[in-house]
Amino acid sequence: MGSTANTAKYDGGTSVTEAGAASAAATGSTGSGKSLLNIERLSVSFSTPRGRVDVVRDVSLALAPGKALALVGESGSGKTVTARTLVGLNAANARVTADRLEVLGRDALALSERQWRGVRGKEIGYVLQDALVSLDPLRTVGQEIDEALGAHGVRGKAERLERVHQALRDAGIPDPEVRARQRSGELSGGLRQRALIAQATVLNPQLVIADEPTTALDATVQAQILELLEGLKEQGRGLIFISHDLAVVGRLADEIAVMQGGRIVESGRASEVLANPQHEYTQALIDAIPSGAAKGTRLSAAGRATSSSAAVTTTANGTPAATSAAAPIERVRATEFSATAPALEARGLAKSYPGPGGIRRTVVHDVSFTLERGKTLGIVGESGSGKSTTARIALGLTQPDTGTVTLGGFAWAGAGSETVSEDERRRHRPDIQLVNQDPLSSFDPRFSVGKVVTDALDAGAIGTPRDRTTRALDLLAQVGLPASLFDRRPLTLSGGQRQRVAIARALALQPQVLLLDEPVSALDVSIQAQVLDLLADLQDQLGLSYLFISHDLGVIHHVSDHVLVMKDGRVVESGNADELFANPQTDYTRQLLAAVPELPARA
């Protein structure tokens, strides 16, 4: 399905608008012109065994019907806690205080749990974060939505079923009669998010709160969900949504409140805040967004202050030796990496897996690419496009059905008579290293940060155990991590720090090629900016070649010299990054690019 199907649903959905208008009229008692939300100096703190923790401080917000308010900020800035307070869903150890906390004309501070139950779902719809896990896997989508109706006393089986179908239809789900009988596992990410929105809106609430509604969705699906949320707004509902993605915010929000450390540091009309941010935190957030325009520039504020971030030591000759007084012990190389051959070259790769009913499902068709030395090749595609399988073949972890891969001129992987045995490949493994989306899962759970890096050095038989500790500290410094983290468990690090540890480990064996599989997808935008800056520095210093895989077109455009666009296992388009983004040749690439929300130009 594509966006066309979605638009058609909207055209057919005039009844939605009527229903919305009717509900607005019916609830006229609360006053349609009146503000849905009136919050002054809201503070939320949690009592923990170690004392009180203030999570939200002096937050004031207001929202009129038919408007959208975006709460923007990093993980831990208090956005989610603020939103949950508005539906009375805070943990038992939370203490909520406010000068005024009016939600839909009621004093929310005085509501009992029983009264809250009457409000939740019926008057305020709450779309939980993480569509992929918020639906009960054992119940059908229809049952999930029906529960909301039942809880608010809608009787009559036929009527409820009709309303469930209508809600699914309104949420842009095709064939609601079929989908209502399916379980969440049978739905795609986009459909699950739509089902959650249907659940939140089935009782026609005046206010809808959505927590990260588009996170983890592919660009085109994200665009469709944004369209759906926009529809809710047009029906006269108030919309509060939480996002760390300013591009998404720019598309949907009327008002923005930027939160940092539990406070609102800047708020105002969306267009003004985005075009002319006043607070340095807002500016940093906007600058951190990677896009083609920012190519070659530094994304993080720290990176811009000095030409290279303080933690990364750059030198004139740009060798890693510069980070330490002593030169690193060179790995004994099996064969010299060819100086003339491309760093990584794939020809005619294909891979299929046995599917249900004995039909083989081909996930990669005839994929070829060339990664030049010292350059970055970006592979972009949505989930299921075959980019991860391509990556696994390139890493020599999955055997291709046809085609060959060469690594620095060495026959690295192939099919049939050109099959390369693992014993053959093992000597060359250090030349290509992987950094994946979830670094934690790639660390042996028994290892400390230091052990993760020294173990990699040990694998390459680099130096004596003592040298390895010194070298590991150098590597940590090179990726901007302090020596004090050496004994820490990776579990206790932040997402950005973990990714830096993974990069340090990947560098330990002095590779030629780094395969970066969605390396920043799980990170907040400002941390993402720092990691992307770090990767750019390392490429400059060490002459690394990057195969960079991402679903995020902004990131791909920012980092890549060449780009490969994949869809359904095929290469749809490839070429120079700037040319491809400026002048896409295929409909699919155009569609992808159009789906990326863009920020208004900065003043």
Partner 1 sequence: MSVALEPTTAHGNRPGVPGAPEPGKPTHSARGTAAGKAAAALRRTPIGVWIAAALLAFLVLAAVVPSLLLRQDPYIIDPAAAFTAPSAEHWFGTDQNGRDVFSRVVAGTGQSLLLGLAATAIGLVLGGLLGITAGVSGKWLDSAICRFVEILFAFPGLLLALIVIAVSGTGVVTAAIAVGVGTAPGYARMLRTQTLQVIDAPYVETALSLGRSRAHILWHTIVPNVIRPLFVLATLGVGQAIVWASSLSFLGLGAQPPAAEWGAMLADGRNYLQVAWWIAAFPGIFITLAALTTTLVGRHLQQRLEAEV
The stretch near partner 1 (CB under 8 A) out of 362-370, 436-444, 552-560, 586-594 is 436-444
- Token pair, residue 601, equals 């130009």
* Shortest distance, position 124 Cβ to partner 1, whole Å: 19
40 vs 458 by CB, closer to partner 1: 458
Question: If binding is defined by CB under 8 A, does position 48 make contact with partner 1?
Answer: yes
Measuring CA to CA, which residue among 422, 430, 364 is closest to residue 396?
422
Three-state secondary-structure class, residue 220: helix
- Distance between CA atoms of residues 579 and 582, nearest Å: 5
Of 119, 239, 413, 432, the one binding partner 1 (CB under 8 A) is 432
27 vs 521 by CB, closer to partner 1: 521
Question: If binding is defined by CB under 8 A, does position 116 make contact with partner 1?
Answer: no
Which residues lie below 8 Å from residue 585, measured CB to CB, with a gap of 6+? 573, 575
456 vs 580 by CB, closer to partner 1: 456
Which residue(s) pair with 269 in the sheet? 255
- Distance between CA atoms of residues 402 and 366, nearest Å: 8
- Token pair, residue 398, equals 């999955």
Buried b (16+ CB within 10 A) or exposed e, 146-177: bebbeeeeeeeeeebeebbbbbbbbbbbeebe
395 vs 556 by CB, closer to partner 1: 395
Strands 402-407, 344-354: pairing kind:
antiparallel
- Distance between CA atoms of residues 478 and 494, nearest Å: 18
* Shortest distance, position 287 Cβ to partner 1, whole Å: 9
By rule CB under 8 A, what string of x and - marks binding of each residue 395-414 to partner 1?
xxx-----------------
# chain residues binding partner 1, by CB under 8 A: 77
* Shortest distance, position 169 Cβ to partner 1, whole Å: 30
DSSP for 86-106 reads: HTT---TTEEEE-SEEEETTE
Measuring CA to CA, which residue among 442, 404, 423 is closest to residue 518?
442
125 vs 480 by CB, closer to partner 1: 480
- Distance between CA atoms of residues 465 and 150, nearest Å: 66
- Distance between CA atoms of residues 597 and 248, nearest Å: 6
94 vs 594 by CB, closer to partner 1: 94
Sites for partner 1 among residues 83-112 (CB under 8 A): 91
* Shortest distance, position 138 Cβ to partner 1, whole Å: 22
168 vs 547 by CB, closer to partner 1: 547
200 vs 301 by CB, closer to partner 1: 301
Measuring CA to CA, which residue among 40, 58, 197 is closest to residue 108?
40
Q: In what order do the strands lie in the sheet with 344-354?
A: 360-371, 344-354, 402-407, 410-414
Question: If binding is defined by CB under 8 A, does position 302 make contact with partner 1?
Answer: yes
Question: If binding is defined by CB under 8 A, does position 330 make contact with partner 1?
Answer: no
The stretch near partner 1 (CB under 8 A) out of 58-66, 107-115, 432-440, 563-571 is 432-440
- Distance between CA atoms of residues 199 and 133, nearest Å: 14
Of 16, 55, 103, 270, the one binding partner 1 (CB under 8 A) is 55
Question: If binding is defined by CB under 8 A, does position 130 make contact with partner 1?
Answer: yes
The stretch near partner 1 (CB under 8 A) out of 64-72, 73-81, 111-119, 150-158 is 73-81
* Shortest distance, position 432 Cβ to partner 1, whole Å: 7
Question: If binding is defined by CB under 8 A, does position 300 make contact with partner 1?
Answer: yes
Question: If binding is defined by CB under 8 A, does position 488 make contact with partner 1?
Answer: yes
Question: If binding is defined by CB under 8 A, does position 463 make contact with partner 1?
Answer: no
The stretch near partner 1 (CB under 8 A) out of 102-110, 359-367, 372-380, 523-531 is 523-531
Question: If binding is defined by CB under 8 A, does position 526 make contact with partner 1?
Answer: yes
Burial level of 46, CB count in 10 A (0-12/13-18/19+)?
middle
Question: If binding is defined by CB under 8 A, does position 332 make contact with partner 1?
Answer: no
Which residue(s) pair with 44 in the sheet? 56, 96
8 vs 53 by CB, closer to partner 1: 53
Question: If binding is defined by CB under 8 A, does position 519 make contact with partner 1?
Answer: no
- Distance between CA atoms of residues 461 and 468, nearest Å: 9
Measuring CA to CA, which residue among 548, 462, 465 is closest to residue 510?
462
Question: If binding is defined by CB under 8 A, does position 532 make contact with partner 1?
Answer: no
71 vs 595 by CB, closer to partner 1: 71
Strands 68-72, 238-243: pairing kind:
parallel
Question: If binding is defined by CB under 8 A, does position 189 make contact with partner 1?
Answer: no
Question: If binding is defined by CB under 8 A, does position 484 make contact with partner 1?
Answer: yes
